[in-house]
Chains A and B, each alone.
Chain A
């Protein structure tokens, strides 16, 4: 608890410090490439025969995903706290790469924990992290995926807490991580809200984002929470189907539980053992979800749905061919749902989809599914 208390205190001190804010804004603009455009996907909208679909182009950020918003914020905080060694977990490797980038730029030593099954699936990202100067530790315990990488990073942190900063990649884990990561990611929604008002003159009828741990979704939802006319949809990984172990949809199919220091919806069996998950997108392959999503769902402010692996692959191909944009398989789930939702919304209205990452990393996976 002590390190969490110290972290919370440091975060409060620096997040309200104008100098820290200015410095972070500088990195986000100059290094990461903010602001990102809000792009009207006119061809996709025509194809969907409904509302105008706008894409928040987080795929254009340095590293190819929204992850850099958070890693820059936390790496800068770690540096201010005087920590020299950074550890992080990664699933698909996107958070690992974004951590390695931010830490290289800020001169911090980085070690990344990654499940050995994920290392096999995402070999390219393992090389990227190594090229960026990070050390990558394979995790052989449990299911050898993201949750096990988090377990191992937590074990490292309690062992080396004096000089080490744990840079968590999503709105999960013990307080203050869910709050802190949300704050760093909420830049997405602040920009998107301003941009849609400038471009459409009114708020969208819905915002759609994929939910794994939930950082890109909470990041874009946050600025719209008080706009009750804007519906907020989180799209979880429906995987193969909704039988246990075949999907990764804790909000749609889980029960309240405790994992990784948070009380939230968790996929678990009757005895409280955490269930295996499955999704074509490694970034959604996690059995729990940020606690704020659980809260928002229980309040009725947000709705959660699922799209399957094949829905995501279809959306990947559709967006690539109609718009010339290859989405990551994670936001492809959101694209898929948004095109269906668009049909139920008037043409004069708009929907924003958070395009949280680009699909280059997934070309191998797609190629394996469609060898021709």
Chain B
């Protein structure tokens, strides 16, 4: 691997470490405090034990326009259980004190603004957050948040879509720290049975522009181990699996104690695929 990623945070170190073993990174997403803080904690631990390389935690927003029904419902459950950004960051603090797995937070812009960008990032950094994704904050408006995040050693991870222009992609690659979050389809989050026709092509396009300066991870619509191996074979440095894990957790709402077993099993299978698919 010729990759020489430009930041030296825990996220890019993780990508480098795995690339050296010809493995790809699996970013595993769960909605924070879904369905309640205790079950979320147990689910997150099961993903880490199942081999998740990076944990991505959602902070719910009432109007999540980038998310499909599965994650929307998870956000609604978390909010009804009383989730707030502060409480979820506290739980992240517990996770980061027990595990070395890098942690990324995904939330929308308004909850961050409501707390104050400075205060949000300081709090997040103290709790061990390593990266942040804000899907409704376009690059053109992002400088302030990015500066504050970087000052608190939090990588600002930008999204790129299949129809993002070359010019914008170049800036996104330039500004992204941690990784570039590649949206592998036209649409919102949610598990799909097959990879979108744009997915592999988009990975190749972004990888060739990134030139190893920042890792590229593909997300949205990825649920199967085969998806993981084909994306990694196409050149992705990592994949993000979200809705399918959230759905697995949601299948056990009547008995949340069951969910960790299934999550760990799913995670193990995804991780196995990454080891085979990485190159």
Contacts and interface: CB of A to CB of B under 8 A. Distances in A.
Contact of B165 (A2, A148, A257): A2
Given A1-B168, A142-B63, A257 B113 contact: yes
Interface secondary structure of B, over-half rule:
loop
13 contacts: A141-B72, A142-B62, A142-B76, A158-B161, A162-B186, A257-B110, A257-B114, A261-B136, A272-B85, A272-B111, A272-B114, A273-B62, A273-B111
Interface in A205-243: none
Contact of B61 (A1, A5, A272): A272
B176 to A, nearest CB: 15
A260 B109 CA distance: 11
A155 B138 contact: no
B253 interface: no
Contacts of A3: 163
Contact of A154 (B65, B84, B111): B65
Interface of A: 1-3, 5, 141-142, 147-148, 151, 154-155, 158-162, 255-261, 266, 268, 270-274
Interface of A is mostly: mixed
A72 to B, nearest CB: 27
A271 B85 contact: yes
A151 B163 CA distance: 20
Contact of A259 (B63, B69, B165): B63
Given A159-B188, A271-B84, A260 B111 contact: no
B65 A155 contact: yes
Contacts of A141: 69, 72
B236 to A, nearest CB: 21
Contacts, number: 80
Contact of B164 (A1, A257, A274): A1
A272 B138 CA distance: 19
B68 interface: yes
Interface in B177-195: 186-188
Interface string B67-81: 011001000100100
Given A1-B168, A159-B187, A273-B61, 4 more contacts: A258-B136, A271-B84, A272-B113, A274-B62
Contacts of A151: 63-65
